[in-house]
Amino acid sequence: MKRFFLRILTLMIIFTSFIIVPACGVDKNKVNNESDIIEKNESQELLEGFEDKSSVVSSKQLKVVDGELMDASNNPIQLKGISTHGLAWFPQYINKDCFATFQSAGANVIRLAMYTGESGGYCSGGNQAELIAIVEKGVDYATELGMYVIIDWHILSDNNPQNNQQAAIDFFGKMSAKYKDYDNVIYEICNEPNGGTSWAQVKEYANAVIPVIRENTDAVILVGTPQWCQQLDPVIADPITGYDNIMYTLHFYAATHKDDLRSQLVRAKEAKLPVFVSEYGICDASGNGNIDIDSANKWVELMDEYNVSYVCWNLANKNEASSVLNPSCQKVSGFTEEDYSQEGKWLIEVLGK
């Protein structure tokens, strides 16, 4: 009996389905089209959940527009921070907590100063593998913190950057290939040309190094200027052409460099020359000696007026006026007021404004 009723029920369901479906007047093609629409909408919703990395530019990407440093949204941006001393001599400050200490004070950029010509420098007997490893750690820590980082080929006693040009080409080829997908790395290709090195010589060097970097990235490149980065006038008259995102460095030490050099910065900015102060101090040009707070404050006011980025020298406890830490400070992060030198205390105040 149960089987009989199950058969009757099955026949009724089949019979009903034949009656109901045609009665609804459903267009089979329409059903298929609507299914396609639903599938396409679902696919679109899924795709909207993914970011197209090929067309989206990171908000930290920098560029130079009409002589100004800009972010990815074409808004003017000003970088403020601190430079390490020589990486070979003070590697202990290359740590994430140290960088975070200055970030909490208001810094958004770290400069990694890798000397080339001095004892222990990259081109003068230093352990190149170790120096590169320190640079890489510095880039990693800055990146993890969301900070910008400058890789600085710190020529000084080697005077003319052409003296170690091939080493620079090899170094920046490796660095730019490694960090080609990073949007926070800046390349400073020659710290302070000096010893009578002309702008023509620096320009020739730059035109040899820049293409190597440009093979991998359009990141901002900083080019040093003659006389320890105090001659912008020759650059105004004959800038580097053929490349985007090039800036020129000016360095000052407030107790030595005053109105004359400040006037040169004004001329450069009025001429729309992209200028970046990648090193400065509030003492005299020796990096030691007298401190001039009044002159330093005038520099800051001028740089802020023209939206010029500036990086203070130096993150170390060396016994000199330009070090931001007291010689007695043995900490490598988490510094407090008593740990800072006179320049250090001034810097923390400036970064916090």
Identify whether the C-beta of residue 70 lies closer than 8 Å to the C-beta of residue 61: no
- What CA–CA distance (Å, rounded) separates 79 from 255? 23
pLDDT-derived band at 59, boundaries 50, 70, 90? low
**Which residues belong to the active site?**
192, 279
Mean pLDDT for 42-48 is 35
- What CA–CA distance (Å, rounded) separates 290 from 283? 5
* Residues forming a β-bridge with 247: 222
pLDDT-derived band at 353, boundaries 50, 70, 90? confident
Q: By C-alpha distance, which of 89, 93, 151, 161 is closest to 123?
A: 161
Q: Return the sign of the alpha-carbon dihedral for residues 202, 89, 106, 262.
A: negative
Mean pLDDT for 338-348 is 98
- What pLDDT is recorded for position 113? 98
Q: What percent of the chain has a predicted confidence (pLDDT) above 70?
A: 83
Identify whether the C-beta of residue 201 lies closer than 8 Å to the C-beta of residue 160: yes
- pLDDT digits over 240-252, tens only? 999 999 999 999 9
- What CA–CA distance (Å, rounded) separates 83 from 110? 6
- Going along the chain from its start, the domains and CATH numbers come out as 69-351 (3.20.20.80)
Calculate the CA 80 to chain-centre distance: 11
Q: By C-alpha distance, which of 162, 241, 170 is closest to 212?
A: 170
Mean pLDDT rounded to a whole number for the chain: 87
- What pLDDT is recorded for position 41? 39
- What pLDDT is recorded for position 199? 98
- What CA–CA distance (Å, rounded) separates 298 from 306? 13
- What pLDDT is recorded for position 351? 97
What is the number of H-type helices and E-type strands within the chain?
Answer: 11, 10
